[in-house]
Chains A and B, each alone.
Chain A
C-alpha cells in the first residue's frame, strides 16, 4: 500500500507557512504590534508542526517498505544535457521536489517540534528587544530554509536549504549588528561555511557526472516519468560492475560532501565559527547552533548513506575526524567561563560523536543521537538563556552561583538536560550515546576509547557548569542579585516540554539487550538498506550481550566519575581547580586560548590572503599599469619623439641640406647679383670689352665684308 492522504499531498505547505510569515514580517513587520508578530511567527511554525505530524502519521500507516512519499512541484534548474563520466548524455534536472521517508520524518519532526518550542520561548525572551519583527522574520526564514533542506528530494535543493540556513545564521548571529564582535562572528560563520560549501558543490557535481542524477531516490514517483535516483543509479552501476565497494570516485564523492558537512556541522578543521556564533541571541543558539542547522551535515551524510556504504575510506575519515573533534572540543569546554561557550564546545563535541557513529557505519545511531541531542541541547541553551535573562545579561559563570532555589524551574529542567547529556540512564542521552559507543567498539576499539574518555569529560564540564551556576553562594554583583527572577511561563513551559523529551526521548530506541527492540533503528532501516545488501558493505557484527552490558556499565561509570570529579572541584571544593591551573599553566593557557587555532588560522590563511590581495593590487598598479599600460604610453611617446627627431633632422634635414647645398652652389652667382646699377653697368662694360677682344678679328672680317 502506498502512503497517501491530505497531509502527504500537501507536504509543500510545511515549509511554506514559515516562508509566508517571514515575508510578511520582513515587509510589513514594522507596522505590526508584537502580539501580531507572535501570532504569525509562532503560529506559522506551529502549523508546520501540525502538518509535519499529520504527514508522518499518514506515512506510518503504510507498510515499512513503502514508507516513501515524493512530490515534484516543478522543474527548477534545467541547463540542458550533461555529459557523464562515461561519455553518456543525460538531461540534467534539479527539481523542486519534496521527499518524506523515515529519515526526513525524524528530521522534520525535530525541526518543527523543537523549532516551535524555541519560537514560543523566543516570544518571551526577546520581548524587550528592539527589532522584534526582524528577529522573528529571520527565524521564520530559517525554518523555511531548514525544512527545505530536510525535505529536499535532491542534492541541489538540499543545497538551497543548506545555504539558506547559513544565511539566516549569518543574519541572526549578527542580529546585534551594532556590536562589531557580532557582525564579525556572522561574517566568519558565513565564510567558513562557504569553504565547506565549495566541497559540497564539487561533491554534488561529481555525483551528477558519475550517476547522472542528483535526486536521492526514484521511490515514490510514478514509474513512467523517466525518473531515477542516486540509489537506483548506484544499484544499477554496482550490478553492471562499473562501480563497486571502495570505488575511488565514490570515496571522492564521500570526502567532498563531508567537507561540506564539516563546515556546516562544525567539525575539524572548520569548527572555528561555532563558538563565535554565540554572539547571537540565545534562542538562536538553541535553534540553529545546537538543535537543527548544525546537524544538517550529519543528516546529509546519512541521506547519502548508499554512497558512503560503498566508500569505506571516506567513512574511516569521517569516524576519525568525528572522534578527534569530539575529544578536542570537549577539552576546550573544560575551562570556558562563558556559559554559552561551554555549551558551544559541547555541541561541537557531540556533533563529533554523531560523525563518529556515521563513520563506523552506525547511521541510525547517529540520527538517534542527533534527535536526543536536539532535545537536551536545545533545553540546555534555553535554560542558559533563562539564566542569562535572570542574571540581567550576565554570561560569566564566575559571577553566578546559588541559582538553584531562585529560579527552580529553570534549574530543575537544566539538571535533567545535564543528566541527559552525561548519559545517565534512563535519560535520552544514555541510549543514543550507548548505541554509538557500542557500535564504535565493534569497529575500532581505539575510537571507542576516545568516545569513552570524551563521555567522562562531558560529564565533568557539564556538571562543572551546573555547580558553578546553580549551587553554592551567589557571586553576582549586588544590583544583578536583586533582580534575579524566574522567567515567564512562555519561557519555562518550553523548558518543561523539552525536559520531558530529554527524559523519554531516548526510550524509542530502547536497545534489545535491555529488553526493548530498538524501534528507532527498525524505523530507519528501509532508508539505510544501501545499494547492495549482501556484498562487502560496512556491516556491524553484533556483539555478545555480555560485552554490551560491560560497555554500558563502563560508560555509566565514567560519567559518574566525571560528575564526581566536578563535585569535588566545584561543589565540595575539596580540590581547588586553581591549583591545577597553577600546576600546569601551559596546558591551562592552551585550553583557555582554544589551542590558539584562531590565531594560527589568522596567521596562516587570513593574513596571507590579505597580503596576496595587497600584492595583486600592487601588481595591477605597478606591473600591468606601470609597465604594461604606462610602458605602452611611454613607447608611444618615445616613438613620437623619434619621429619628431626623424622629421626634424632627417626628413627636414635632407630638405634643408638640399637647400643649403643649392645655396652654397649659388654663392658666387649671388655675389654678382648685388642689385646695384653701376656694378651691372660695369659688368656689361667688362663683358663687352671681353667679347670685343675675343671676337675682334671676326669683327674685322665682318666689317670688311660689309665693305
Chain B
C-alpha cells in the first residue's frame, strides 16, 4: 500500500505496458484470450487511476504525487513525474476513455487481434506519459512513442484510405514535433546553469528559467512549441489530417484520437506555451491576436464545413475542429474563466465526441458504411439507440444540464471579459453547432426507414450499453453539478493566470455585498 501511494503515477503509467507485455506471451491463435486480457488491462488501468482522485489535494499548489529518479545523468534527463489538477483530469479521461475504447473493439476487430490490443495498450502508456511527465526529455519520448501505435492502428485496422490517412497523420505530427524538439533544445541550452553543473530537462525548472529570457527569444520559443501543438489540436489551417485520420481509423482509434490525442495540443498550450508568452504588451497582444483569430476561424469554419459532409465520421471530425477552437479561445483569453472553461471543455469534448464516434461505430458494425445517405429512420428499429444518440448530440451542441454547455459558457464568459467581439463570434459557433448536429440526427434517425437493410437493425446490445451509458452519466454529472471539477482545476488555473497574466489579480475585488450598497438602497428610496 505504501509503495502504491509513493509510486502511484508510475503504476498508472505502466499498468497498460504490463498488459502489452503479457499479451506478447499469448499464442497468436488465442483471440479470445487477447480480447479478455486487453479488456482486463483496460479496466485495470482505469481502476488504478482512481486512487489519484481520492488522494489528490485540490487545495495544494504545484505538482502532486511527484516521483524522481536519475535516468541519463550525463545530460540531466530524469524520470520525473507529477500532476496538477489539470493533468489529473486529463489522465483520468485517458484511462477512462481507454477502457471504453478497448471494450468497443470487442467484436469490431477481427484481424490480428494480438497486435491490435498490444498497440492500444502501448498507446495508453504514451498518452498517460505525456500528461504526467515533468521532464522534457521524458515528455518528448512519450510524445513520439504514442505516434507509432496510432500510425499502425490507422494503417492496419483502418478503412479504405487508411494508408493515406496514416501517413498523413504521421508526417503532419512529426513535422510539428521536430520543431518542438528544437524549441526544447533551445530551452535546454539557453537556461542559465551553475558553472560545472549539468544542465537539466526538468520542466518546472526550465519554465521558471524561461521567465528570465529576453522577449524575442521567448517569441521564437513560443512559435516553436506552437506549431507542434497547433497541429495536434488541430487549429486551422493545420487541421486537414484530422478528418482523414478520424474517418479512416477504427472506432476505438477515433475515440482515442478525438478524446485524448487532440488534448495533448491544448495541454501543451497551457503547460508550455503560456509561460513563454513575451512580457512586452505589444508583442504579446500580437501573438494573442493571431492565435485567437485562428481559434475563431476554426470554430466557425469547422462548423460550417460540417454542413456539407456526407460521411458521419468526417462530420464529427470537423465538429472537433470547431470544439477545439473553443478550447484554444479559452486558453488564450488568459483569465480564470477562460482557462477553467477550456480545461473542462477538453474533458467534455472527450466525452461527447468520444460517444459520438462510438455511436458511428455502432452503426458501422451493423451496416459497414458511414455514409449519411445510407441511413434514415433508424429511430424506428433502434429506439434506445435513438435516445442515447440524442442525448449525446445535445451534449455536444451545448444543451444546458449537459456537459458541453458548462464548458462553452465558461469559455465564452472568459472571452467576453477580454473582447466582446470574440465572444460574439464564438457564439455563432454555438448556433451552427445545433444546425449540423440536429441535421445529422434528423437525416440518420427520423423519417420512415428508407433502406431495406436498415429495417431489422438490432438495437444496442449489452456491451454497447456498457460503452455508452458511462459517458452519458458523466455528461449529466458535469452538466448538473460541475463544482467538483471546477474545484480540481481552480488552483492550477489560478497559478497559471498569476504567472502569465499577473495584471488580472491586481484588480480589486469588488464587494457587492458591502454595507454601503445596502445603505444606498435605503437612500434611493
In contact, A167 and B399 (Cβ under 8 angstroms): yes
Q: List 19 A-B contacts (CB under 8 A).
A: A75-B483, A81-B337, A82-B337, A82-B413, A83-B417, A84-B510, A88-B509, A90-B509, A170-B438, A178-B447, A183-B442, A187-B442, A190-B438, A213-B512, A226-B511, A239-B520, A239-B524, A610-B307, A616-B308
By beta carbon, the residue of chain B nearest A208 is B413
For the residues of A in contact with B, the DSSP-based class is: helix
* B434 interface neighbour in A79, A191, A236, Cβ under 8 Å: A191
CA distance A33 to B401 in the complex (A): 30
Given known contacts A83-B335, A191-B435, A617-B308, A205 and B413 CB-to-CB distance under 8 angstroms: yes
- A78 within 8 A of partner (CB): yes
Interface contacts beyond A163-B399, A235-B517: sample of 19 additional A-B pairs, CB < 8 Å, sorted by A: A75-B483, A79-B341, A83-B335, A83-B417, A88-B510, A89-B507, A89-B509, A90-B510, A177-B445, A177-B447, A191-B431, A198-B430, A226-B512, A232-B521, A235-B524, A236-B517, A239-B520, A613-B307, A624-B237
In contact, B483 and A80 (Cβ under 8 angstroms): no
Kindly supply a per-residue 1/0 record for chain A positions 435-461, scoring 1 wherever the CB is within 8 Å of any chain B CB and 0 otherwise. 000000000000000000000000000
With a CB–CB cut-off of 8 A, which chain A residues contact B525? 533
Q: Separation in Å of the B166 CB from the closest CB of chain A?
A: 14
- B106 within 8 A of partner (CB): no
* B507 interface neighbour in A78, A83, A208, Cβ under 8 Å: A83
By beta carbon, the residue of chain A nearest B303 is A613
CA distance A698 to B446 in the complex (A): 121
Q: Range of interface residues on chain A? A: 35 or more
With a CB–CB cut-off of 8 A, which chain A residues contact B65? none
With a CB–CB cut-off of 8 A, which chain B residues contact A74? 481, 483
Kindly supply a per-residue 1/0 record for chain B positions 302-328, scoring 1 wherever the CB is within 8 Å of any chain A CB and 0 otherwise. 001111110000000000000000000
With a CB–CB cut-off of 8 A, which chain B residues contact A320? none
By beta carbon, the residue of chain A nearest B434 is A194
- B336 within 8 A of partner (CB): yes
- B58 within 8 A of partner (CB): no
In contact, A79 and B513 (Cβ under 8 angstroms): no
With a CB–CB cut-off of 8 A, which chain B residues contact A184? 442
CA distance A233 to B516 in the complex (A): 11
In contact, B400 and A164 (Cβ under 8 angstroms): yes
With a CB–CB cut-off of 8 A, which chain A residues contact B513? 218, 225-228
Given known contacts A80-B494, A194-B431, A89 and B486 CB-to-CB distance under 8 angstroms: no
- B410 within 8 A of partner (CB): yes
Q: Separation in Å of the B233 CB from the closest CB of chain A?
A: 15
CA distance A613 to B319 in the complex (A): 13
With a CB–CB cut-off of 8 A, which chain B residues contact A613? 304-308
Of B197-205, B358-366, B421-429, B455-463, the one with at least 4 CB within 8 A of chain A: B421-429
* Interface core residue of B401, B448, B483, B490 (most chain A CB under 10 Å): B401
With a CB–CB cut-off of 8 A, which chain B residues contact A92? 337, 413
By beta carbon, the residue of chain A nearest B397 is A194
In contact, B504 and A239 (Cβ under 8 angstroms): no
- A629 within 8 A of partner (CB): yes
In contact, B305 and A616 (Cβ under 8 angstroms): yes
- A612 within 8 A of partner (CB): yes
Kindly supply a per-residue 1/0 record for chain B positions 479-508, scoring 1 wherever the CB is within 8 Å of any chain A CB and 0 otherwise. 011110010001001100000000011011
In contact, B240 and A77 (Cβ under 8 angstroms): no
* B240 interface neighbour in A90, A212, A625, Cβ under 8 Å: A625
- B151 within 8 A of partner (CB): no
Number of interface residues, chain B, beta carbon within 8 A: 74
CA distance A177 to B443 in the complex (A): 11
Q: Separation in Å of the A705 CB from the closest CB of chain B?
A: 78
Q: Which residues of chain A (160-211) have a CB below 8 Å from chain B?
A: 160, 163-164, 167, 170, 174, 177-180, 183-184, 187, 190-191, 194-195, 197-198, 201-202, 205-206, 208-209
The total of interchain contacts (Cβ-Cβ below 8 angstroms) comes to 191
In contact, B340 and A80 (Cβ under 8 angstroms): yes
**B interface with A by C-beta (< 8 Å):** 168, 237, 239-240, 243, 301, 304-309, 335-337, 340-341, 377, 379-380, 387, 394, 399-401, 405-406, 409-410, 412-414, 416-417, 420, 423-424, 427-428, 430-431, 434-435, 438-439, 442, 445-448, 480-483, 486, 490, 493-494, 504-505, 507-513, 517-518, 520-521, 523-525
In contact, A180 and B447 (Cβ under 8 angstroms): yes
CA distance A418 to B329 in the complex (A): 53
CA distance A226 to B490 in the complex (A): 21
For the residues of B in contact with A, the DSSP-based class is: helix
* A79 interface neighbour in B305, B413, B511, B521, Cβ under 8 Å: B413
With a CB–CB cut-off of 8 A, which chain A residues contact B412? 201, 205
CA distance A691 to B522 in the complex (A): 137
**In the complex, the 8 A-B pairs of residues with the closest C-beta atoms, listed nearest first:** A88-B510, A80-B336, A228-B512, A613-B307, A183-B446, A613-B308, A198-B427, A226-B513
* A163 interface neighbour in B400, B428, B431, B439, Cβ under 8 Å: B400
By beta carbon, the residue of chain A nearest B513 is A226
With a CB–CB cut-off of 8 A, which chain B residues contact A531? 524
Q: Separation in Å of the A63 CB from the closest CB of chain B?
A: 15
Q: Separation in Å of the B83 CB from the closest CB of chain A?
A: 20
In contact, B304 and A616 (Cβ under 8 angstroms): yes
- A665 within 8 A of partner (CB): no
- A597 within 8 A of partner (CB): no
* B486 interface neighbour in A78, A223, A226, Cβ under 8 Å: A78
CA distance A228 to B494 in the complex (A): 24
With a CB–CB cut-off of 8 A, which chain A residues contact B490? 80
With a CB–CB cut-off of 8 A, which chain A residues contact B521? 232, 235-236
With a CB–CB cut-off of 8 A, which chain B residues contact A225? 513
- A512 within 8 A of partner (CB): no
With a CB–CB cut-off of 8 A, which chain B residues contact A160? 400-401
- A614 within 8 A of partner (CB): yes
In contact, A174 and B446 (Cβ under 8 angstroms): yes
By beta carbon, the residue of chain B nearest A626 is B240
In contact, A238 and B427 (Cβ under 8 angstroms): no
* A89 interface neighbour in B301, B409, B435, B505, Cβ under 8 Å: B505
- A76 within 8 A of partner (CB): yes
By beta carbon, the residue of chain B nearest A535 is B524
Q: Separation in Å of the B485 CB from the closest CB of chain A?
A: 10
* Interface core residue of B168, B409, B504 (most chain A CB under 10 Å): B409
Q: Separation in Å of the B40 CB from the closest CB of chain A?
A: 31
* Interface core residue of A75, A179, A233, A236 (most chain B CB under 10 Å): A236
- A587 within 8 A of partner (CB): no
- A561 within 8 A of partner (CB): no
CA distance A235 to B405 in the complex (A): 31
By beta carbon, the residue of chain B nearest A611 is B308
With a CB–CB cut-off of 8 A, which chain A residues contact B481? 74, 76
With a CB–CB cut-off of 8 A, which chain B residues contact A603? none
By beta carbon, the residue of chain B nearest A228 is B512
* B340 interface neighbour in A79, A87, A212, Cβ under 8 Å: A79
In contact, A187 and B416 (Cβ under 8 angstroms): no
Q: Separation in Å of the A180 CB from the closest CB of chain B?
A: 5
By beta carbon, the residue of chain A nearest B377 is A178
Q: Separation in Å of the B435 CB from the closest CB of chain A?
A: 5
Q: Separation in Å of the B422 CB from the closest CB of chain A?
A: 11
By beta carbon, the residue of chain A nearest B305 is A616
* B523 interface neighbour in A177, A239, A614, Cβ under 8 Å: A239
- A628 within 8 A of partner (CB): yes
With a CB–CB cut-off of 8 A, which chain B residues contact A226? 511-513
CA distance A625 to B237 in the complex (A): 10
* A83 interface neighbour in B307, B399, B480, B504, Cβ under 8 Å: B504
CA distance A90 to B424 in the complex (A): 22
* Interface core residue of A75, A206, A613, A614 (most chain B CB under 10 Å): A613
Q: Separation in Å of the B472 CB from the closest CB of chain A?
A: 12
Q: Which residues of chain A (203-258) have a CB below 8 Å from chain B?
A: 205-206, 208-209, 212-213, 218, 223, 225-228, 232-233, 235-236, 238-240
In contact, B439 and A205 (Cβ under 8 angstroms): no
By beta carbon, the residue of chain B nearest A205 is B416
In contact, A77 and B482 (Cβ under 8 angstroms): yes
Given known contacts A201-B409, A209-B417, A228-B513, A610 and B308 CB-to-CB distance under 8 angstroms: yes
- A26 within 8 A of partner (CB): yes
